[in-house]
Amino acid sequence: MSKAGFVIALLLMIAAGFGVYQWQQTLGHNQTNKATMPAQVDLGLATSFIFDTPRALAPFELSDQYGNRFTNQDLQNKWSLFFIGFTSCPDVCPTTLNKLAAAYPDLQAISDQIQIVFVSADPQRDTQTKRLDYINFFNRDFKAITTEHSGLFPFSRDLGFAYAMVGDGDNYQVDHSASYVLVSPQGEKIAVFKAKPKPGETPQILNEELIADFNKIVSHFS
């Protein structure tokens, strides 16, 4: 064999050996991950899913409709169901609050430690007084919280919500998420409820599915 041929053969052998090593390392890594990953539990949820790893929310401070501070401490020992919107919303928000007000007694029957929290994405117009009047129209037990955008944006993003101002002047609208997010009594984001789109219909979270899923989630984590 020529010297050049020997060098080429040697390089091919090294490359092959390295390839086998990489394959063994990858295989071992995957097997380790499979051994350490928790098994997924199928709860038969209709309109929601549970996050693989519950995660505590970053420290936050907002104000409720009474001017009281609303912080991570207010999540302890309660199931907190969040959704985001604004009081000038023409359709989605009042419809959502009506539905949640109707579902509230059934949710309370599952856990009397549940709180419904409306996050206003319009702190400029949604003053404390406006939020108080607005939320009381639907249910006086509900919370209506907000803060300046500098704190509101990271808090909303941490929950998994998005919002954006649309239009100019005082009559701007706010595009926002329409899902619900459930936070556990340990203050951890644990599940999200999303509407199922249907052809020719406005996507919506059905109360019967919300209640059934909430019951399964609470029972599973209790």
Residues making up the annotated binding site for Cu cation are 89, 93, 176
Binding residues: 89, 93, 176
Token representation of residue 53: 């790893």
In three-state form (DSSP H/G/I as H, E/B as E, the rest C), the secondary structure along 60-102 is CEEECCCCCEEEHHHHCCCEEEEEEECCCCCCHHHHHHHHHHH
b or e along 83-107 (b: 16 or more beta carbons within 10 Å of the residue's beta carbon)? Answer: bbbbbbbeebbeebbebbeebbeeb
User: How far is residue 118's CA from residue 178's CA, in Å, rounded to a whole number?
Assistant: 12
In three-state form (DSSP H/G/I as H, E/B as E, the rest C), the secondary structure along 155-219 is HHHHHCCCEEEECCHHHCEEEECCCEEEECCCCEEEEEECCCCECCECCCCCHHHHHHHHHHHHH
H or E segment to which residue 144 belongs: strand 143-145
User: How far is residue 113's CA from residue 11's CA, in Å, rounded to a whole number?
Assistant: 67
